[in-house]
């Protein structure tokens, strides 16, 4: 389906430590702004040593993406797999999503940078490794919660709402003078739950074409 090689040979400890440092740097500064020498300095080695493990800079970035993107998809299932009532599951989901985006800035920033870069192959990787499984689970929950709605649109709206809000946090701190980001994000999660719950349970406006 995708042209990206998804078969991942097991990584040595050394490679993992390289990729984790690389992911952190690329997430923070972007691909072009991180040099091989920067990365080598970060893990106390030399540029040439990196070329013993990877053929070039692009391969380091691609492997770092795969390494970071391979983890998080599994975690969601434990969040949603319980047979809670839909509204309870929705609350758990939104809290989990909010924490995921705010507590894992490396993943969140790499996702944002990939969305900005727009490379087709790497977007497929992002879609399949990170987005697909959570999206399908959220779609199922949305179908249970509001069968009359377009579940895809509802699921995408939830992800968009949480991702966008976490991105806006620094601007909101300036606009509202809010300082306690942790509490602020908890308030947002409660607000978002209410918004989605009541917004989707109200009967849809049929044929309301804009």
Partner DNA sequence: ACTACCTGAACGAACGTTCAGTTAGGAGCT
Partner DNA sequence: AGCTCCTAACTGAACGTTCGTTCAGGTAGT
**Which chain residues interact with DNA by CB under 7 A?**
12, 14, 34-38, 45-49, 51-53, 55-58
Among 133, 15, 159, smallest CA distance to 70 is for 133
Is 205 a binding residue for a copy of itself by CB under 8 A? The answer is yes
Instruction: Give, in degrees to the nearest 5, the angle at Cα 110 between 97 and 90.
Output: 10
CB of 181 to DNA, least distance (A): 32
Binding segment (CB under 8 A) for a copy of itself, from list 36-44, 47-55, 59-67, 131-139: 131-139
Q: How far apart are the two ends of the chain, measured CA to CA in Å?
A: 35
* Distance separating alpha carbons of residues 193 and 94, to the nearest angstrom: 7
d(C-alpha 189, C-alpha 200), whole Å: 16
Per-residue contact string for residues 70-109; x = within reach of a copy of itself by CB under 8 A: ---------------------x---x-------------x
> 9, 74, 174, 179: which one contacts a copy of itself (CB under 8 A)?
174
Residue labelled with tokens 């995921």: 100
For 199, other C-beta atoms within 10 Å of its C-beta total 12
Using rule CB under 8 A, residue 125 touches a copy of itself: no
Minimum distance from residue 65 beta carbon to a copy of itself (Å): 14
Q: Which of these segments, 52-60, 66-74, 75-83, 195-203, binds a copy of itself (CB under 8 A)?
A: 195-203
- Select the binding partner of residue 122 from DNA, a copy of itself, none (C-beta < 5 to 8 A, by kind): none
Q: Which residues contact 133 (CB under 8 A, 6 or more apart)?
A: 73, 74, 76, 77
Task: Give which of 82, 84, 31 is closest to 60, Cα–Cα.
Answer: 31
CB of 58 to DNA, least distance (A): 6
């Amino acid at each position: 389906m995708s042209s990206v090689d998804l078969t991942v040979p097991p990584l040595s400890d050394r490679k993992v430590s390289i990729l984790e440092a690389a992911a952190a740097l690329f997430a923070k500064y972007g691909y072009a702004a991180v040099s091989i020498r920067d990365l080598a300095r970060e893990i106390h080695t030399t540029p040439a040593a990196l070329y013993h493990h990877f053929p070039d800079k692009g391969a380091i970035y691609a492997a770092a993406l795969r390494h970071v993107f391979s983890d998080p998809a599994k975690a969601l299932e434990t969040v949603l797999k319980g047979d809670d009532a839909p509204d309870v599951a929705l609350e758990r989901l939104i809290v989990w999503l909010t924490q995921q985006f705010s507590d894992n800035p490396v993943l969140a920033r790499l996702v944002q940078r990939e969305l900005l870069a727009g490379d087709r192959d790497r977007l497929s990787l992002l879609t399949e490794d990170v987005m697909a499984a959570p999206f399908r689970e959220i779609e199922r929950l949305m179908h249970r919660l509001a069968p009359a709605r377009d579940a895809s649109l509802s699921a995408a709206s939830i992800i968009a709402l949480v991702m966008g809000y976490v991105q806006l946090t620094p601007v909101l701190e300036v606009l509202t003078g809010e300082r306690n980001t942790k509490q602020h994000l908890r308030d947002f999660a409660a607000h978002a739950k209410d918004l989605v719950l009541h917004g989707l349970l109200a009967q849809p406006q049929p044929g309301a074409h804009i």
